[in-house]
Amino acid sequence: HKAEGILKYSHNDAVQALAYNPVTQQLASATASDFGLWSPEQKSVAKHKVSSKILSMSWTNDGQYLALGQFNGHISIRDKGGSEKVLIERNAPVWTLCWNPSRDEPYDILAVGCWNGTLSFYQLSGIQVGKDKELGFDPCSVSYFSNGEYICLGGTDKKVGLITKEGMRLTTIAERDSWVWCVKPRPKQNYVVVGCEDGTLSMYQLIFSTVHGLYQDRYAYRDFMTDVIIQHLITEQKVRIKCRDYVKKIAVYKDRLAVQLPDRVIIYELSHDDAYDMHYRVSTKIQKRLDCNLLVVTSMHVILCQEKKLQLYSFDGMKEREWVLESVIRYIKVVGGPAGREGLLVGLKSGLILKIFIDNQFPIQLVKHSTSIRCLDLSASRSRLAVVDENTSVLVYDLNTKELVYEDKNANSVAWNTEMEEMFCFSGNGMLSIKTGSFPIHQQKLQGFVVGFKGSKIFCLHYVCMQTIDVPQSASLYRYLEKHDFATAYKVACLGVTENDWRLLAMEALQGMSLDIARMAFIRVRDMRFIELLNRIEQGRKTGVDDSLYRAEILAYQGRYQEAAKMYARANHVELAMEMFSDLRQFEEAKAWAEEYAKSKGDSSSVQELIHKQAEWSEEVNDYEAAADMYLKAKKFDRAINIIGKNEWTEKLVEVMRSLQSSDVRSLTLCAQYFRKWGQHHHAKATYIKLNDIKSLISLHVESHKWDEAFLLLKTHPEHSDNVYLPYAKYLALNDQFDEARLAYKNAGRPDQATYMLEQLTHNAVVENRFNDASYYFWILAKECFEEVTNPPHALTDQDQRMLERYHDMYSRAQIYYAYYFVYRCMDEPFRTVFPSTLLNIGRFLLCKLSDNAELPYGVSLAYVLHTLAKHGEQLGAYKLARYAYNKLQSLKIPAGWQDQIDLACVITRSKPFSDKEDLLPVCYRCGTVNPLNSHGDVCVNCGAAFVRSYLTFEHLPLVEFCLDPGISDHEAEQLLNLNPPEAGRLRAPQRPSAAADGFRETDHGDVQTLRFDDDPQEEMLMNMDDPFQQQMAVPHSAIIADRNMLRSLPRSEVLIRTSPTPALPNQYFRIMDPDLLIVMDEAGNFYEQDEFELAVLEHGHSPFTRTRPEGSAQPANAPNLPSPIAAAKNAAAFHQMQMGQMQT
């Protein structure tokens, strides 16, 4: 380094101060009139004028602000650019100032020394911290140490002083012969350089000595020269006491703390009696300047050590006693005692060791050692004294015999264990040595001085830091265990050992049958197993059980199983060894001992029991396959089957099932249950067959829906019918086979379920507007009603009467819903599949039916019926009927969309003739009267005869009802009808009148055929007046009664018999007035023209109303020779094509 200049710049006046920025390379220079700021990145130096001479400068520790001290008393705080931020005004020249360099402070503090003899402190904002400190001289230099805790101050008093950062004077570092102009500490070290007016430079080293005190687990030491910190060595809690003055000495004793300040002694005491309390309060103050080398405090006194003298002062500051000893005091320690009568242990430089009681004027000599004393300590019982001398020797004296009992080298301090008499420790040469009884020393590395020993904790002072070190007492414990001294070993363990050492102590004490020590040790480690074992041992000892059994059990608890088994065998208890190995799941060992036991006792049941236990253990460890095999060997079939079932091993379960006997009912049943659960129908069936369990077999078939096999079994075992038919019915119902389900319910003896299901189906069909299905279900309900009536008319019960009423109601509803289905489809579907004439007939039929009912059936709309009548009546020319229907519609509440359409149609129909087309008017086949279309009731207005309609076209059929003479039974009437009537007496029905297009009317009377040019039916009726049937037909409103002669004379082909479904109702007889018309009848007694009926059956596959599927062609009563089914089908197809053609036209 050549020390060449980098830059040179000048001021107009003399340079008064320089200051480098601690963060950047910025340099500040000051003169009497200005100051400049230079930095390497700037080419020129920025200079700023000031109003007064600058005497001092200082940068903040972050380099952001610069403080200027001026002659006029102003302190100007500038930023890095030179702009003034804060101005502080003082009343004297600011000769020196300095910022606190510590970064731990919450804000920057500026120390300011003025030539009015004051020292003051300011924050960066200009706010003063505290009050001005009166110095008594003018400060010339103020400098902080690197940590910011202390300040060096020099000035006109020719001294260098050390003060705290708050301005409190601590001590004088140096005194010089002239003013001290500059004081600077060396960064991060305790050296101070002093510059004086006479041109001298001097450097001083500051040594901060340790001031501390210790008593048992409380340690107090000085911090920052003015504070006292008390540390609890066990809990590591710390408390700081701010004395705000220079702390010279500290002493601690129990709940007392004595702090010596330059002009007084303050006594503190604990606020509470708690051993861990750390709250101190001032008890008293001794307002005297007391100089001493050592300070000791007791419960009621303060003891000052001054070379060879000991002075006893009370807390009031009164000197009570003084001891003058023969040599300089090197060590003093309070060893406890009653309050006001405590004892002191004193070691002199001459080697004399004394014990002084503070209430006694005369010291007691304990030991006379040949070398100067360095450290002393008494044992817990005060029977032994440990000494460390200047030769680093440690010696232990027995105070009772005054003999030296132990000696060692390389020691600098010693401490007895306060909780154990025979244990002490000493330190030296970086090692810690622990001596217990007569055992060898245990050593480990340790830096510092041993100052206390409590339990397993050693208190070590290393420089100014007090450390608490946990030292396990394992080595001492092991040695006492080797000597089987369990009581002392327990005491050592209580000082502090690891959990493993406690367990070792417990085991050794247990093996030595020292049960009390073992119990306390096991309680310490919370081992409940061994505590229970101890309880058993104590109970067994009371009853006289041999200790060898318990020793064997102790070995087993320790895991030494082979040794335990041998001990059991020696005690003649082999079964206990076998039980032990089985509990341990060591089954091979257990079997070996079991075989030995079987040989000695002749009992092999124990081997079987072991197999069972092995199986249970295999199950616990989830080895299910081995567990199942073991259970099978042990003949525990149920357990084995359950394990196989849980794991779904089908093949294995089949093998087990086949190996079982039929007498193993429970196991086979369990196998069957698992097969059923897995859906293995074949294996479950084989199991039930092996068991001969017919009921379960049927239940299996039902569960698997194997209905054929179930019904096959039912043939040979009919007593189980309830178990088949009822589930079968439910199955059918769930699969929408309701008719079959209904029959199954009846076969199961549950007609109520069948009826309930049917009622639900009926309700759903009506709600869902499936009126054809509703008609069919109502017909089935009606059919069920008449099936329940079995009594003849003269023996009817009230229940029969109710069933008959219900039958008529259900049958009427079936007819209404059957007809309304066509109306509903016509109204709601865009395309029509029924002829308008048929819809007109249906409307008239429904209108007559609904007029007979007091209430409309649910879902049937009268508006729909009237609209159908009006629309198709108007279309076919039945204007009178249409006007009647429209008038009725206007009186009803109809949909809003219909209103305009109905009103318009009503007006249009009024413009039509008020009459119906003549060919639309129905003719009565009994009296020949032409009836109006809007007649009330479906009967003739003249004779009252009921019209019989076809249930496909709803046209009137040429049928006239007649009754039997009261003396003629149904059976006799059928016999008479089946007789061939004589030709002379045969009654022939006239042919149905047919009008030709030219107005001619042809009539066939059997042997006479006539052709008439008029349409007078009355003349035709007069021609048949010789016929008794025709004679009765001419009488209106009276029933036609057929006697035997009339029945014998009627051709069988002209008579239809509607057989009653129940004995409570008579059969009905009808004569076909047009023999050429073929008429058939369904199961419900409804009539159809044969061609239409066969066409409907071919189209739908069943009869229209009853939905019966015929096995052959329909057989009309008046057709002796019917065509074959193929011909009938052809005719039906031709008729269907003809209908479709007409509809398209």
3-state SS, 572-620, equals CCHHHHHHHHHHCCCHHHHHHHHHHHHHHHCCCHHHHHHHHHHHHHHHH
Q: What is the pLDDT of residue 1013?
A: 54
pLDDT band at 766; cut points 50, 70, 90: confident
Global pTM exceeds 0.85:
no
Q: Ranked by mean pLDDT, which of 363-367, 628-632, 703-707 comes out on top?
A: 363-367
Q: What is the pLDDT of residue 995?
A: 42
Q: Stretch 383-410: mean pLDDT, rounded?
A: 87
pLDDT tens across 448-465, in order?
Answer: 888 888 877 888 887 767
Q: What is the pLDDT of residue 120?
A: 93
pLDDT band at 423; cut points 50, 70, 90: confident
Bridge partner list, 174 = 160
pLDDT > 80? residue 733: no
Instruction: Write down the mean pLDDT value for the chain.
Output: 79
Q: Stretch 323-343: mean pLDDT, rounded?
A: 86
Q: What is the pLDDT of residue 74?
A: 93
Three-state secondary structure call for residue 1089: strand
Q: Stretch 991-1015: mean pLDDT, rounded?
A: 51
Lowest pLDDT segment from 61-65, 436-440, 1130-1134: 1130-1134
Lowest pLDDT segment from 720-724, 908-912, 1005-1009: 1005-1009
Q: What is the pLDDT of residue 140?
A: 92
Lowest pLDDT segment from 506-515, 741-750, 771-780, 917-926: 741-750
Q: How far apart (Å, rounded) are the C-alpha atoms in residues 1093 and 826?
A: 21
Q: What is the pLDDT of residue 947?
A: 87
Q: What is the pLDDT of residue 587?
A: 56
Q: How far is CA 166 from CA 133, 150, 163, 172, 224, in A?
A: 9, 9, 8, 17, 11
Token pair belonging to 626: 């081995």
Q: Ranked by mean pLDDT, which of 277-291, 831-845, 979-993, 1128-1142 comes out on top?
A: 277-291
Q: What is the pLDDT of residue 111?
A: 93
Q: What is the pLDDT of residue 196?
A: 93
Q: Stretch 85-95: mean pLDDT, rounded?
A: 91
Q: What is the pLDDT of residue 439?
A: 82
Q: What is the pLDDT of residue 71?
A: 92
Q: What is the dihedral of CA 821, 826, 830, 832, to 10 degrees?
A: 100
Q: What is the pLDDT of residue 30?
A: 92
pLDDT > 50? residue 1123: no
Beta strands 449-454 and 1009-1012 are unpaired
Q: What is the pLDDT of residue 645?
A: 77
Bridge partner list, 482 = none
Q: What is the pLDDT of residue 626?
A: 62
Is the pLDDT higher at 421 or at 600?
Answer: 421
Beta strands 169-175 and 159-164 are antiparallel
What whole-number percentage of the chain has pLDDT above 90? 8
Q: Stretch 669-685: mean pLDDT, rounded?
A: 78
pLDDT tens across 141-170, in order?
Answer: 999 987 888 899 999 999 999 888 888 888
Q: Stretch 735-754: mean pLDDT, rounded?
A: 70
Q: What is the pLDDT of residue 1143?
A: 33
Is the pLDDT higher at 301 or at 934?
Answer: 301
Q: What is the pLDDT of residue 576?
A: 62
Q: What is the pLDDT of residue 1142?
A: 33
Q: Stretch 575-601: mean pLDDT, rounded?
A: 58
Q: Stretch 687-695: mean pLDDT, rounded?
A: 77
Q: How far is CA 813 from CA 543, 778, 822, in A?
A: 96, 7, 15
